[in-house]
Chain A
């Protein structure tokens, strides 16, 4: 991120176990106590156990067994007798994938500084990208030609999105706003002149996306909120409060499954929202650090997240829990961006160690690793027809690979 925010940590004796550790504030029966992170986990675990018992998901019995945490089963420790499955156990009989050969097919050069965000157009060939130097460029990925370019009045344009019609792009960043630029092929027209300011936040814009039409935009901001705006009038239609820190990413559910979206933030939580009521429907907090990227599974029943804790995780919405972790001991840098292939079998993740790892979603194993970028990968999207994926990096380039 552009500026570092440091969490002020209180160090001292834990109110539960009395050990000297970094403390977090916990509310128990309306009283504020300071627990160390281990005791916080224990309290949450007891609470979860109680919740599951209330719904008959586990039979009433004491928490006497303490199972070791196994990958993909982070909720298991302490829950007796029931083995909760992770996807890779159910997918044991699925055929393993063969070797993948993916290469960079196009390199888009032209940005003068770090590429921060990119998006594909629905026509499967155009790409919009934004960078730290304030430039937003629209490319034709087949020919690598630049079709449009506009300079924003601010630096660090952290979010950009293509309109579904292909006639406009939205972008924003440190200016705290999301602006929409209609795309015109008229050489005499200045793109910046037709700019329309749509969203206004009180902190930086971290992500934006059009909904199913050109008429509404969903934004996420460093002020901890997400918001839905009407493009024509600039009016705020709905705001979404609940994150305890900066919201870094969002993704809309695929159209067949309705009006929800998922957001991820610096509070390590991924939250699923109802767009009409503004209500948070589900939340997931299993990551150990900021969630940089969230992306829905193609069926809409699950979503993946990439985080600074160097793992990607898969959460199932109908089971309401994490069902897979994609990590390796050798991967210690954060994942900045994730996306699924068309069938959902592959998960592409761009990391801060300059690589792109390709994971087998069902088996939980890595199938391929791509090199090529000379600095951290900041953004990654698979094309709408699934034939290729584009990655943008701090090395000022975008690469289309297939």
Chain B
């Protein structure tokens, strides 16, 4: 079973090497990009800004009539 363990450990190390080798950016930069995305798309987010009842099919009191 030690050969099994060694093989497993080797695979794990190989995987960790691949993961350690990727390009990373700073969290402050990543966070500010997430913020920018939110701000850019906030206007078009119905759940965020709310849409008037006349435009939201779910807010209508009467069910939609499909012709």
Q: List A residues at the B interface (Cβ < 8 Å).
A: 27, 30-32, 51, 54-55, 57, 84-87, 89-91, 94, 97, 102, 105-106, 125, 141-144, 242, 279-283, 297-299, 301-302, 316, 318-321, 323, 341-346, 361-362, 382, 385-389, 400, 402
- Give A345 to B27 CA distance when docked, in angstroms: 18
Contacts of B44 in A (CB 8 A): 342-343, 386
In the complex, which of the residues A143, A323, A361, A389 contacts B27, with contact meaning CB atoms closer than 8 Å?
A323
Which DSSP category, helix, strand, loop or mixed, fits chain B's interface? Answer: helix
Instruction: Tell me the smallest distance from the CB of A241 to a CB of chain B, in Å.
Output: 10
In the complex, which of the residues B9, B18, B33 contacts A30, with contact meaning CB atoms closer than 8 Å?
B9
Instruction: Tell me the smallest distance from the CB of A82 to a CB of chain B, in Å.
Output: 10
Instruction: Tell me the smallest distance from the CB of A271 to a CB of chain B, in Å.
Output: 10
User: Given the known A-B contacts A27-B9, A386-B45, are A85 and B58 also in contact in the complex, defined by CB atoms under 8 Å?
Assistant: no
- Give A143 to B62 CA distance when docked, in angstroms: 9
Closest 10 CB pairs of A and B: A343-B41, A343-B45, A90-B31, A319-B30, A105-B58, A316-B30, A342-B45, A387-B46, A87-B31, A341-B47
In the complex, the chain B residue whose C-beta lies closest to that of A31 is B5
Instruction: Tell me the smallest distance from the CB of B37 to a CB of chain A, in Å.
Output: 5
Instruction: Tell me the smallest distance from the CB of A203 to a CB of chain B, in Å.
Output: 21
In the complex, the chain A residue whose C-beta lies closest to that of B64 is A142
Interface contact A386-B31, CB-CB below 8 Å: no
- Give A51 to B8 CA distance when docked, in angstroms: 20
Instruction: Tell me the smallest distance from the CB of B26 to a CB of chain A, in Å.
Output: 7
Interface contact B38-A143, CB-CB below 8 Å: no
User: Given the known A-B contacts A27-B12, A86-B27, A345-B48, are A299 and B34 also in contact in the complex, defined by CB atoms under 8 Å?
Assistant: yes
Interface contact A90-B24, CB-CB below 8 Å: no
- Give A106 to B18 CA distance when docked, in angstroms: 48
Q: Can you list 6 residue pairs at the A/B interface with Cβ under 8 Å?
A: A242-B15, A299-B33, A318-B24, A343-B38, A344-B38, A402-B46
In the complex, the chain A residue whose C-beta lies closest to that of B36 is A299
User: Given the known A-B contacts A282-B19, A319-B25, are A105 and B31 also in contact in the complex, defined by CB atoms under 8 Å?
Assistant: no
In the complex, which of the residues A105, A297, A341 contacts B59, with contact meaning CB atoms closer than 8 Å?
A105
Instruction: Tell me the smallest distance from the CB of B66 to a CB of chain A, in Å.
Output: 8
User: Given the known A-B contacts A143-B63, A385-B46, A387-B46, are A54 and B25 also in contact in the complex, defined by CB atoms under 8 Å?
Assistant: no
Interface contact B31-A280, CB-CB below 8 Å: no
Interface contact B59-A30, CB-CB below 8 Å: no
- Give A343 to B41 CA distance when docked, in angstroms: 5
In the complex, which of the residues A54, A318, A345 contacts B45, with contact meaning CB atoms closer than 8 Å?
A345
Interface contact A344-B19, CB-CB below 8 Å: no
- Give A400 to B47 CA distance when docked, in angstroms: 12
Instruction: Tell me the smallest distance from the CB of B42 to a CB of chain A, in Å.
Output: 5
Does B56 have its Cβ within 8 Å of any Cβ on chain A? yes
In the complex, which of the residues B22, B27, B37, B46 contacts A299, with contact meaning CB atoms closer than 8 Å?
B37
User: Given the known A-B contacts A143-B64, A389-B47, are A297 and B34 also in contact in the complex, defined by CB atoms under 8 Å?
Assistant: yes
Contacts of B8 in A (CB 8 A): 27
In the complex, the chain B residue whose C-beta lies closest to that of A29 is B9
Interface contact B27-A51, CB-CB below 8 Å: no
User: Given the known A-B contacts A90-B28, A320-B24, are A342 and B63 also in contact in the complex, defined by CB atoms under 8 Å?
Assistant: no
Does B67 have its Cβ within 8 Å of any Cβ on chain A? no
Contacts of A341 in B (CB 8 A): 45, 47-48
Contacts of B48 in A (CB 8 A): 97, 341-343, 345-346
User: Given the known A-B contacts A281-B22, A320-B24, are A402 and B47 also in contact in the complex, defined by CB atoms under 8 Å?
Assistant: yes
User: Given the known A-B contacts A27-B8, A87-B34, A402-B59, are A342 and B46 also in contact in the complex, defined by CB atoms under 8 Å?
Assistant: yes
In the complex, which of the residues B5, B38, B46, B64 contacts A27, with contact meaning CB atoms closer than 8 Å?
B5
